[in-house]
Amino acid sequence: MDNFAFRVQDLHRTYYMKGETVHALRGVSFDVFSGEYIAIMGPSGSGKSTLLNVLGCLDRPTQGRYLLAGQDVAQIDDYQLSRIRGRRIGFVFQSYNLLQQLNVVENIKVPLQYQGLIGKDATKRCSELAELVGLGSRLFHRPTELSGGQQQRVAIARSLVNDPYFVLADEATGNLDSKTTEEVLDLFQTLNEAGKTIVMITHEDEVAARAKRVIRLRDGEVESDVINNP
């Protein structure tokens, strides 16, 4: 089957510090198909962020395989990891992480810059995405002039601009109130229905309930991996 978004096989991540070793991940394996909507849950310290860093190609596993589009990216160099982040993965952070000196369109454009796409087409695509997330009337606003929910929408638009294999969201609704959380989740759902693969880390059951599949981690291992019944 070729329609895996990615596969992880026996992922280990061990931190060594001052003679102490911390096993943050101890053999995590699961496959994600294109078009899936997955929530990753687990208690604090269970290894969620560690896993996300590996999935996001920000970190390399100590051991195990991570297959993206059939290619093992577990042990490639920093430059190639950067390329993969820029082309294949969309990030949505808990604290939005927009660049303050740039307006909405420019923020959405950042990932394209690093692929050398800086023409008029790029600007047009960014405006369209802003429109898609409901910010068509705020194209040239700075992040400080937007609400938290609006900022997160910009961040989501930014995560889509490079047409990634999947969107990685780390506690994307963690800073939002319940109403805006709903709005953002609606947006994710719409995107998923349009075929986008979404991997979301969350603490909240209500958020996880919107996903199609929930993977629970405990002490660096997969505790459960269940399909949500709508």
Partner 1 sequence: MFAKFLQTVYLGIKSLLVQKLRAGLAALGIFIGTSTVIWLVAMGEGVSYRAQQQILELGAKNVIVRTKQPNEGSEEDANSRVKTYGLLRADYRRIVENIPNIRRAIPMRELRYELRLDDRTVDTKLVGCTEDYLTLNRLEIARGRWLSSRDRGKKVIVLASDTAKRLFPYENPIGRAIWVGSEFYTVIGQTKDRTASAAIGGSLDSREYNLDAYISIKTLRQRVGDMVMKRVGGGQGFNFVGEDVELSQITVEVNLIEQVDETAQIIETLLKKYHQEEDYAVVVPRELLRQAERTRTMFNVLLVIIAGISLLVGGIGIMNIMLATVTERTREIGVRRALGAARSDIIGQFLAETVVLTASGGLAGVLFGLSVGPIFRLTKLAITAISPDALPPIVHSLEPRIALWSVLLSLGISLGVGVLFGVYPARKAAYLDPIEALRHE
Ligand X SMILES: Nc1ncnc2c1ncn2[C@@H]1O[C@H](COP(=O)(O)OP(=O)(O)OP(=O)(O)O)[C@@H](O)[C@H]1O
Per rule CB under 5 A, is residue 34 in the interface with Mg ion?
no
Return the structure tokens found at 73: 């990216």
Range 3-32, binding ligand X (CB under 6 A): 15, 17, 22, 24
The reply on whether position 42 binds ligand X by CB under 6 A is yes
Interface residues with partner 1 (CB under 8 A)?
Answer: 53, 56, 58-59, 78-79, 82-83, 85-87, 91, 93, 97, 99-102, 110-111, 113-116, 118-119, 158, 162
Compute the chain's Rg from CA coordinates.
Answer: 17
User: Which residues 6+ apart lie within 8 Å of 140 measured at CB?
Assistant: 103, 104, 105
Size of the site for ligand X (CB under 6 A): 12
- Residue 49 as a binder of Mg ion (CB under 5 A): the answer is yes
User: How many angstroms separate the CA atoms of 179 and 5, rounded?
Assistant: 31
For every residue of 131-196, DSSP letters joined together read: HHTT-GGGTT--GGGS-HHHHHHHHHHHHHTT--SEEEEESTTTTS-HHHHHHHHHHHHHHHHTT-
Q: Is 90 exposed, middle or buried (0-12, 13-18, 19+ CB in 10 A)?
A: buried
- 144 forms part of the interface with ligand X (CB under 6 A): no
Contact call for residue 46 and ligand X (CB under 6 A):
yes
Q: Please, which residue, 80 or 224, has the CB nearer to partner 1?
A: 80
Give SS3 for 230.
Answer: coil
- Whole-angstrom Cα distance, residue 10 to residue 61? 10
Which of the listed partners (ligand X, Mg ion, partner 1, none) does 136 bind, with a CB threshold of 5 to 8 Å by partner kind? none
When binding is defined by CB under 6 A, the residue of 8, 28, 38, 48 that contacts ligand X is 48
Applying CB under 6 A, does 61 fall inside the site for ligand X?
Answer: no
Tokens of 210: 């919107």
Does 47 help bind ligand X (rule: CB under 6 A)? yes
Which of helix, strand or coil describes residue 209? helix
110 binds, options partner 1, ligand X, Mg ion, none, Cβ within 5 to 8 A by partner type: partner 1
Strands 4-17 and 221-227: unpaired
**Cβ nearer to ligand X, comparing 44 with 100:** 44
**Residue 143 or 220 with smaller CB distance to Mg ion:** 220
The residue number whose beta carbon is nearest to ligand X equals: 49
Q: State the minimum distance, in angstroms, from the CB of residue 16 to ligand X.
A: 8
Residue 23, token pair as written in the block: 């096993």
Site for ligand X, rule CB under 6 A: 15, 17, 22, 24, 42, 44-50
Site for Mg ion, rule CB under 5 A: 49
